[in-house]
Amino acid sequence: MTDTVRPLPAAFLDALQGQEEVLVSSREPGRTGTVPVWFAVGPPGVVYLFVESYSKKAVRWRRDPWVRLHVRGGPTVEGLARVVEGEGLAAVAPLIVERWDMAGATTVEALHRMVDGGGRVVMRVEAAAPPG
């Protein structure tokens, strides 16, 4: 098994430019819920979400990583949401601090304290594996 990250389609990432939020749908038994979420686009063409660790959406994403991302008035893609930790978090921390300093992550160290303390989680959304 490989840890290859699958980039989201370039056309979808282009449609995110200038947007503050992306609509994220996720499922739980018997229903699908959709919420607006702040996001950042990072290499290699994935979307990062920075949310409260124990929010309903974060709990759903951990239990079932399937999500649908939708740009208001634009395209939709399906992907998988994965928790970003350790070296992966260190690699994207500057991007997250630049994008979400107003959410309390004003420095890389502050971001690590928020995540390590359990109050926040960073999720990476990548393309779902192709069928087969």
Output the domain CATH number for residue 66: 2.30.110.10
Distance from the Cα of residue 124 to its chain's centroid: 4
Q: Is residue 1 part of a domain?
A: no
Q: Which domain holds residue 111?
A: 10-127
Contact between 37 and 21 under an 8 Å Cβ cutoff? The reply is yes
SS (H, E, C) 92-124: HHHHHHHHHHHHCCCCHHHHHHHHHCCCEEEEE
pTM: 0.90
- Domain assignment present for 5: no
**Stretches in the chain below the pLDDT threshold 70:** 1-3, 102-104, 129-132
Residue 44 located in a structural domain: yes
CA distances (Å), 97 to each of 13, 104, 110, in order? Answer: 20, 9, 9
What's the distance, Cα to Cα, between the start and end of the chain in Å?
15
29 lies in some domain: yes
Query: For residue 130, what pLDDT is reported?
Result: 60
* Any domain includes 3: no
- Please give the tally of structural domains in the chain: 1
Contact 69, 125 (CB under 8 A): yes
Residue 132 lies in a domain: no
Residue 132 has a pLDDT of 42
The pLDDT score that the predictor gives to residue 42 is: 95
Structure tokens at 105: 């992550």
Is 4 contained in some domain? Answer: no
50: in domain: yes
